[in-house]
Amino acid sequence: MNLERYRRQILVKELGEKGQSTLLKKHVVIIGGGGLGSNSANILVRAGIGSIDIIDYDVLDLSNIHRTSIFDEEDIGKSKSQILGKKLQLINTEATVKGLKRRITKENIESTIKHADIILDGTDNMETRFLINEAAVKNRIPWIYAGVHTTNGMVMGIIPKQTPCLKCISHNYSDKKIGEIPIFANLPLTIASIQCVEAFKILQEKQVSGLIIYDIWKQNFDQIIIKRNPKCTCCCTEEFEFL
């Protein structure tokens, strides 16, 4: 394997040649190809993840472009996942990049993630996140929760049975529709970047950083260490309500 492309990244001691070689062997599934997912996919393809699946059912809308960095106006009306698969493959022809036009449901999530070393959350709703959480816990696959709203973003790396799961920190699920979420233009790129760092740590079997909360307007960065809920119905007793 020619590592020349990654020469400057390998110089970073947190990764090194060993870490880079590890990333090249990994398979990542990104659920959602919008603001978060497209930016995370872009970072991972360039950083040398060996294989990436990007799952999204939607087509690109003009109002998506302000918070993404791969799409252009000619992509409007086309499948986000298929455009990402095509464009990102050209960026790194040594990686395997697949864009899958698929809506994630309880029927297909386990087959979608079964070969993943890690799952990245690029969704925009809590129902799908709880579904990912349960599928990840059931199949013991780490995943990285990420969310954006106005100028605030959150990231949490979740290693089933080791770190708190989404249900441990969020008991009260509400399916109330909240309408269009306001999002500051470059927030998803920043949060996607933090999400990818947490993914690199997990893929190298290093510790994650707890719940990370970042306000891009106030430039306020918080890191909260949370314990697992010993009564969690997802990661402790494994009573899955969304799967």
Q: Which residues bind Zn ion (CB under 5 A)?
A: 165, 167-168, 232, 234-235
Q: How many helices (H) and strands (E) does the chain have?
A: 8, 8
Shortest gap between Cβ of 191 and Zn ion (angstroms)? 22
**Contact of 9 with 43, CB cutoff 8 Å:** no
3-state secondary structure 162-207: CCCCHHHHCCCCCCCCCCCCCECCCHHHHHHHHHHHHHHHHHCCCC
Shortest gap between Cβ of 233 and Zn ion (angstroms)? 8
Shortest gap between Cβ of 166 and Zn ion (angstroms)? 7
- By beta-carbon proximity to Zn ion, the closer residue of 218 and 231 is 231
Token output for 207:
């510790």
CB within 8 A of 5, min separation 6: which ones? 48, 92, 94
- By beta-carbon proximity to Zn ion, the closer residue of 115 and 161 is 161
Shortest gap between Cβ of 131 and Zn ion (angstroms)? 14
Task: Report the candidate in 218, 121, 220 with the shortest Cα–Cα distance to residue 165.
Answer: 121
- By beta-carbon proximity to Zn ion, the closer residue of 151 and 233 is 233
- By beta-carbon proximity to Zn ion, the closer residue of 123 and 133 is 133
Amino acid at 82: Q
